[in-house]
Structure 1
Amino acid sequence: MLGPTNTGKTHLAIERLCAHSSGAIGFPLRLLAREVYERVCAIKGPGQVALITGEERIEPKGARWLLCTVEAMPARPDLAFVALDEAQLAADPERGHIFTDRLLHARGREETMLLGSATLEPMVRVLEPEAEIITRPRFSTLSHVGAKKLSRIPPRSAIVAFSAEQVYVMAEMLRRFRGGAAVVMGALSPQTRNAQVAMYQSGEVDYLVATDAVGMGLNLDVEHVAFAGLSKYDGHRHRRLTTAEMAQIAGRAGRHHKDGTFGTLAGAGGGDPEFTDEEVYAIEEHRFPPLTRLFWREAEPRFDTLATLIADLESPPPRAELATPPEAIDLAVLRRLAEDPDVAATVRGSRSVQRFWQVCSLPDFRHQGSEVHARFVARLWQDLRGGYLGADYVAQAIAQLDNPAGDIDTLQGRIAAIRAWSYIAQRPDWVLAHDEMAARARAVETRLSDALHGRLTERFVNRRTTVLMRKAGADAALLPVRLGEDGAVLVDEEPIGHLRGFRFSVDPLARASDRKLLLAAAERHLPGLLSARLGELAADAQALRNLDMQGADLLWQGLPVARLVKGKGLLSPRLRLDPALERLSAPEREGALAALEAFVAAQSERPLRPLRRIEAATTDPEAGASLRALALRLVEGGGVVSREEARLDDLSPAQRAQARKLGIAVGALDVFVPAALRPASLAAWAVRASLHGLPAKAPPAHARPILPAREAPTGYRRAGPQALRVDLAERVIHAAFAERAHARGPRSHGRRFMIDPALARSMGLGEPGFIALLRQAGFRQIPPRPLAGGQAGPPAPILWDWRPPAHGGGEARAAQGAKPDGKPEGRSRSQPAKGQPAKVVPHGAFAGLAALMGGG
């Protein structure tokens, strides 16, 4: 399985591992092996999964799934599945021979997977011609964005340097510019690396400074990778990175389906690094020169004598595609100690030679060179050649390192030393009571790692304003304050807070001891910063784009600048500036208030125009008391009032005519203003009504004409499980009355008649809601009689009748006094006066309608 980074290769290998009855995966890093171990434990249970690395071994009895580092992979032919991750490291000068051996010999009984870069494909075809090669594309794309200054690097970025000194310089600069950075280096312990990465992943810091160790084994939420350099010292010479190495690091940007960018760091001094066009093309298109050789070293040397062992380890590879690697640290130590007569004299016999080689293979965690490491191995051999290391001796060596005091470099040295003792303590053939000693070593490593994480955080994240305090003393006015491009308030380029809209918030990472000085500096300069921002608002020619109303709040650039408060009239609220603008001078506040009031008036003019006409009638002395009362109820009800509460009988014919001119419609159930039922109109009214304590529920932004009853806002009438806008409800009732008016026609069934529900269905009103609405208007459904036994044919139609309820109240009485067109009507001419004999009502649709309006 070959392909670039972020193709899901490792995820697929984990799935295949769990699908088999047993298996193992070899990883290039202990950190990655531990991460996958925890994932597999969650699937299979900790009693079935083993973790095997040079420094840590968790091996439950009978464990069937093994997560290992490549060096620690056991040779077990009984495993059903075997995978090798990052197999292209077979071309690495230091560790490549180990990956090559696993590539050639590690096999699963049922399935074997090699995961790596596409550059490995030619070598796989030559060395394993029967292998099936599957390539996978990258989930996201990588794009080159050129060089950026450190102060312009976007958040969620990783800055990659190639020396510890350069990492510290970058992190220190980011602390000053951006408030801090996490640090990841190969010299850190896995625990410290995890803690720093967790600090970045959680968003505590937005930047990560790392060496090229970030290019492998870490899944990060990185959007941009910036290279502080494009060359490094590889232990032998200073050279430029290969395009494959560049791509491995740049590939940290963008995870899954989220695209990423990469570039270089400008202004770092010493000549800014730049990608060539060929390198940019290769990284973006994932096209790299194929590997032409893999490093090989004899994996099963003879242990007859030291000379035989060294000769086998230096023997030439058996195939032309394989190459002899540069001298690795273990072979260098072996050669150096074999030349020491005192040490060589103690190595006699094949078992002694084999044990001596195991001691020389101890990893050089200190990275201080073969000379220093050889001295440590020689001392260890003197203690081991006679048998085991005593528990007291190992415990004392571990206890000497259990000291979390000191600076970053001191703690890194102790962690490197304790990792060596962790490697030693977990070997049962070297240490008595190895389980207890290994647990002690891991506990010390954890404490030292926590201390190192604290030192790194304190140095690169928490140190805030010490330099500023020394520079300005107690006089905050001496501190230069300016507003950054992203709204950051900078004191001598140190971020002390943010100005969002017109509100200033202190940086939460500032120390409590520094807050007083920083706040004083901000208070001195904030009026000027706010005035400049107010000028931006006043000069904005497209205020409608940048100003927005959300409820009672007036927002500018997404932040509140003013709020509506209760005014004299319901539709005339006052505007109160946000308290943050109180720092402005009186003329500036008045100018801002006038500009914002003009915006609010312009924005609400059209939605509230129908209700403003009704509100004007409430103070018109010529309208009469009854019409003024009706208008007041309509304004307070958002343009809707039930017919019972409208008191239409109190209106004179002239007042009714004036009501129609004002846009007031009279329906069977409600009196309403159709133009005020638009969602924007109801929303604007609801905000203002809530300021006066009136019950108001605004419709959704894109309200449908029919909603569930539980969501019914103002302007809607509930009908069973649904609610529909009152003007639509009146249309449905109007259609029903029209059907009743034609009841004496060809479709006549005596007093009963049919009602076509097509109109209601076209609106989206279901049958339960349709029935409930008609019942409110006085209609009653008559279920059809079932067919007699033995009869066939279509079911009888559903019939309706209408009559006012016996209690004569509510909405049925309103329906009785309304024409189907919703206009109020007095007594029907066909209705006899009191004491007069009843007249015969002529047949016909209009005569039937007249009878209906008169009471039927």
Structure 2
Amino acid sequence: MPARHDQTLRAILGPTNTGKTHLAIERMCAHSSGVIGFPLRLLAREVYDRVVAIKGEKQVALVTGEERIVPPQARYVLCTAESMPIPDAEAGPGDPGDLPRDFAFAAIDEAQLGTDRERGHVFTDRMLRARGREETLILGSDTLRPIVEHLLPDAEIIGRPRFSTLRYAGQSKLSRLPPRSAIVAFSAEQVYALAEMLRRFKGGAAVVMGALSPSTRNAQVEMFQRGEVDYLVATDAIGMGLNMDVRHVAFADLYKFDGVRERRLTIPEMAQIAGRAGRHQTDGTFGTLALAGDDNPHFTDEEIERIEEHRFQWLDHLHWRNAELDFTDVNALIASLEVKSGDRLLRAAPTAIDLAVLKTLAEDPSIASTGGKKARTLWATCGLPDFRKVGANHHARLVRRVYGYIAEGGHVSQDWFASEVTRLDQVMGDIETLADRLAGIRTWAYIAQRKDWLKEPRRWQQRTREVEARLSDALHAALTQRFVDRRTAMLVKDIGAHGADALPVTVAEDGEVMVGPEPIGHLTGFTFKVDPTARHADKRLLLAAAERRLGEELSRRAKSLIDAPDTAFQLIEDPQLGLGVGWEGHLLAKLAPGRSLTEPALRTTRSLDRLSVPLRSALRTRLEGWLERQIDRHLGGLKDLAEAAADPQQPANVRALAAMLADAGGVLPRKKLAEPISHLDKEARSRLHRLRVRLGALDVFIATMLKPAAQHWRGVLQAVRDERSLPNLPAPGASMLEGSIDVEGARLAYRRLGQQWLRIDLADRIATTAHQSKDRSDAPPLDTTFATSLGLGEDATRRLMAEIGFVPDGDGWRWRGRRVHQPKQRRRKPRPQNAFAEALGALQPQKKAPEPRKKKRRRKRGGKSS
């Protein structure tokens, strides 16, 4: 094969992380002009940005199939291997032919890719024919050495050792992967699945695939480089020289589909990918990923040893395709493309997509007879990459249409071109949809780069760049939204932080809790609730963060409450926990049945369990003190009654009546106490009066129990004792209740009269007036004006007067008397007939029953008695 040796030609060979690409950049910048061909558009873009930083935008060009940035005075060109201009050669399918072909410096990167089935012939051709006037570098793996020695005998071969050590780290579970790890998979489905799992375990991962646009890929990598995520999931595209701060590479699989079959990776391929771990002087590790199931990837001992020691089998061939083409007609073109090299190390390249498309089109006789300039145009259109990966037959239809427009009218139809670009200009959809549209727009961007294919190439280049940028941004946003939870990623890092490295915690006025810049939930009282927008799988992590970081804030709140005035607390009813003592609407302690009605138990809620034991105890004491003061203030009369019932200095009948009344909450119908009241003497009545007990005609009650606050607290304590919800209490000060109401609430201080309820003190006032009228003929039993002012209806009035002891008599009322139930007295074994007697009997000492007297037996005297 022809090879020029009249200039400096060097082959820089070695494993990954040996600085080969960095050396090529330095050497190119030292010359007046230069060109470097790369295996990936992404890598070309990365190096372009580096050279622009050195030489400036006006002197640097970027040329790929879909993107061209070519300033008029550009002297340095960074391009893909297919777009690389070759001195003294015609433009190939991927080369528009509008670039200078004479450079002082030339380099081809990753030359060992000459073994690739699809693109290998391109790298072989560039290695043999791409030359600089002053210097040429061939960069690649050390496995390329015998090939270089055979094909380029005059080349100086320079080996470069790896800067850092690469070691095998074994198999790791996804949840145990160290930070700054890259996981390598070989299908988009597996990449997405792994990224989704990493989002749950580690807060997310960046995603890098060859199909991504440069801007999407750069945005994802930048997210990884900035440390927003500590994990990267990628295809084997990262093995092609992409420089990232990766310290560990985990293989999710060791098999890949190479376009023909599913096969195990070769050891050089494994080493190329594993070598991404460790950059410059930082050592790296590689291993495999343990996933669910038994079919997990495993390296053999030989593979591990050879990867660590960078010992690989020499390459024994490269793929080659003839570059001297015959354009007499399509069949002659195909024949020239399939010419054998005649060299044992240069094997005929497998049929690539461009040749497969050409053969498909050649089945049409009208195309097969094409020759000359049209044949060149046809071959150039066959070079349109199959970005959508639809296969030769389907892709040939698109190529045929593009060629038809160019061959007939000279340019692609702008209406068709515009409609296809507009169809793809949509940023709505899932990741797969956006990725498919991005692949589609890359096709039209490639067409737009051919100045001879469109009437207004600059306009359409700008248009396709804009659409690709929008789709790239949308895809980046979709990838980030689906596979990255910044909050979880931040918290995962924060778990291992201590002291000054820990992120600050802030609690806003509305209770929102922020750890660093990310919200994790709301603190209501002493209860932390996870942000409702968080995914279910992330809630445990957020709760752990709250447990770890909110202790100081909870302690501050507890100390503030211990010193707070009584007005800071209130009674509240929680739908789940029930009645209790609250603060700012948040339940702190639940009320439970205690020793008596006025001595309920207080049980702190679980929200206070996060406090230290001394703080929790002090806060409990504070709440108990508040509750006791409230009961003393509003139910003091009831407490006095309970104390009297337990006071041995009180007469037994007073103690018994006080015990019954205190247990009932200070209000009882008089008919239930008729028996004990009948046994009260003057002194006992005086003692009850001092206890504020009113012996009304209809009800016995403590007058202070009728105050609104007392009614409320009495209802609360009775609900707690009976373990039921708080009844709907009447409005404060209401004298009359109407209609269908809560019976339990009305019973607190109201007497039922049909469909109306009258407050017991007002009913007692009417009853007192009626009884006083019995001894006065000039006084009516009922003050009609007063009853009307209360709102008593006719039915309620009749019921009330009947309970008092009066019946209607014409337009007035007549006393009918009342029968007082007298219990029957039994001669033997007297038993208490009511609660009063039971209580009274319990208070009196029990007398021992006298022993029965023995009867004396008379002795019979002499025979029968008379």
Global fold match (TM > 0.5): yes
Cα distance in 1 between the residues matched to 2:224 and 2:542: 32
Cα distance in 2 between the residues matched to 1:188 and 1:83: 25
Q: Secondary structure at the match of 2:256?
A: strand
Matched letter for residue 74 of structure 1: P
Q: 2:342 aligns with which of 318, 321, 329?
A: 318
> Highest relative contact order (Cα 8 Å, sep 6+), 1 or 2?
2
Q: How does 1:116-265 map to 2 (within 5 A)?
A: 116-265=140-289
Q: How does 1:395-474 map to 2 (within 5 A)?
A: 395-462=418-485
Inter-CA distance 520–401: structure 2 relative to 1 (3 Å threshold): closer
Matched letter for residue 115 of structure 1: L
Contact 1:51 1:59 (C-alpha < 8 Å) held by counterparts: yes
Q: How does 1:16-35 map to 2 (within 5 A)?
A: 16-35=27-46
Cα distance in 2 between the residues matched to 1:101 and 1:4: 22
Aligned to 2:402: 380
Matched letter for residue 354 of structure 1: R
Cα distance in 2 between the residues matched to 1:7 and 1:442: 35
Cα distance in 1 between the residues matched to 2:550 and 2:463: 62
Q: Secondary structure at the match of 2:304?
A: helix
Query: Tell me, which stretches of 5 or more residues in structure 2 are unaligned?
Result: 1-11, 88-100, 508-512, 523-528, 553-607, 619-866
Q: Secondary structure at the match of 1:403?
A: coil
Contact 1:530 1:584 (C-alpha < 8 Å) held by counterparts: no
Q: Deviations over 1:86-124 (max 9, x none)?
A: 111111111111111111111111111001110001100
Q: 1:49 aligns with which of 60, 76, 85?
A: 60
Cα distance in 2 between the residues matched to 1:520 and 1:360: 53
Aligned to 1:285: 309
Contact 2:228 2:486 (C-alpha < 8 Å) held by counterparts: no
How far the C-alpha of 1:506 sits from its partner, in A, is 4.6
Provide the TM-score with structure 2 as the length reference. 0.56
Q: Deviations over 1:405-463 (max 9, x none)?
A: 11111111111111011110011111111111111111110100000111111111149
Q: How does 1:202-601 map to 2 (within 5 A)?
A: 202-341=226-365, 343-344=367-368, 348-386=370-408, 387-462=410-485, 487=495, 506=515, 515-516=530-531, 583-586=611-614
Q: Secondary structure at the match of 1:359?
A: helix
Aligned to 1:8: 19
Inter-CA distance 131–340: structure 2 relative to 1 (3 Å threshold): same
Cα distance in 2 between the residues matched to 1:338 and 1:486: 63
Contact 1:499 1:505 (C-alpha < 8 Å) held by counterparts: no
Cα distance in 1 between the residues matched to 2:218 and 2:211: 13
Inter-CA distance 4–586: structure 2 relative to 1 (3 Å threshold): same
Cα distance in 1 between the residues matched to 2:520 and 2:378: 55
Aligned to 1:779: none
Matched letter for residue 332 of structure 1: A
Q: Secondary structure at the match of 1:316?
A: coil
Q: Deviations over 1:20-65 (max 9, x none)?
A: 1121111111121122222222222222222222112222224222
Cα distance in 2 between the residues matched to 1:524 and 1:315: 69
Q: 2:74 aligns with which of 63, 69, 75?
A: 63
How far the C-alpha of 1:73 sits from its partner, in A, is 1.1
Cα distance in 1 between the residues matched to 2:530 and 2:164: 43
Contact 2:202 2:492 (C-alpha < 8 Å) held by counterparts: no
Aligned pair count? 518
Matched letter for residue 176 of structure 1: R
Matched letter for residue 388 of structure 2: R
How far the C-alpha of 1:270 sits from its partner, in A, is 4.9
**Which range moved further: 30-39 or 431-440?**
30-39
Q: Secondary structure at the match of 1:71?
A: helix
Cα distance in 2 between the residues matched to 1:423 and 1:281: 44
Cα distance in 2 between the residues matched to 1:106 and 1:335: 28
Provide the TM-score with structure 1 as the length reference. 0.57
Inter-CA distance 510–588: structure 2 relative to 1 (3 Å threshold): closer
How far the C-alpha of 1:588 sits from its partner, in A, is 9.9
Cα distance in 2 between the residues matched to 1:286 and 1:398: 47
Aligned to 2:807: none
Aligned to 1:708: none
Cα distance in 2 between the residues matched to 1:463 and 1:245: 33
Contact 1:31 1:217 (C-alpha < 8 Å) held by counterparts: no
Contact 2:13 2:141 (C-alpha < 8 Å) held by counterparts: yes
How far the C-alpha of 1:209 sits from its partner, in A, is 0.8
Identity of aligned residues (%): 59
How far the C-alpha of 1:80 sits from its partner, in A, is 1.3
Contact 2:402 2:412 (C-alpha < 8 Å) held by counterparts: no
Cα distance in 2 between the residues matched to 1:303 and 1:398: 33
Contact 2:520 2:542 (C-alpha < 8 Å) held by counterparts: no
Q: How does 1:752-763 map to 2 (within 5 A)?
A: none
Matched letter for residue 586 of structure 1: P
Q: Deviations over 1:710-737 (max 9, x none)?
A: xxxxxxxxxxxxxxxxxxxxxxxxxxxx
The structure whose Rg is larger is 2
Q: Deviations over 1:663-697 (max 9, x none)?
A: xxxxxxxxxxxxxxxxxxxxxxxxxxxxxxxxxxx
Q: Secondary structure at the match of 1:133?
A: strand
Inter-CA distance 210–463: structure 2 relative to 1 (3 Å threshold): same
Q: Does 1:37 align with 2:59?
A: no
Cα distance in 1 between the residues matched to 2:69 and 2:547: 63
Cα distance in 2 between the residues matched to 1:524 and 1:209: 28
**Which range moved further: 436-445 or 386-395?**
386-395
Matched letter for residue 36 of structure 2: I
How far the C-alpha of 1:512 sits from its partner, in A, is 6.8
Q: Deviations over 1:114-151 (max 9, x none)?
A: 01110001100000011000011111111101001100
Over aligned residue pairs, what C-alpha RMSD do you find?
3.3
Inter-CA distance 81–405: structure 2 relative to 1 (3 Å threshold): same
